[in-house]
Amino acid sequence: MFIHLGDDILIKSSEVIAIFDYNLIGEDDTNRLFIDRCLEEKKLVDVGEKSTKSIIITSHYIYFSPFSPSTLKKRSQSNFM
């Protein structure tokens, strides 16, 4: 199954490790270092031009999505119905 993150970006739901609220993750220095390292390694994908509401960690990339974590959760669960 797939989850639509915004724009034309779809990811396999089986690759998702975690989905976090951007406001909670972005404030911590350790998390910020992790995000900066992913950016340097070109493993960060910023989806859409709207403000980031969630961070999706997969086995290969980190995605910034304009959709809230609850919206992404609903989208992932609707694939199983």
pLDDT score of 11: 92
Whose CA is closest to 16, among 4, 8, 26?
4
Residue 57 and residue 20: Cα distance in Å, rounded? 8
pTM score, two decimals? 0.85
Q: Decide: helix, strand or coil at residue 46.
A: strand
Radius of gyration of the chain (CA): 12
Higher-confidence position of 46 and 75? 46
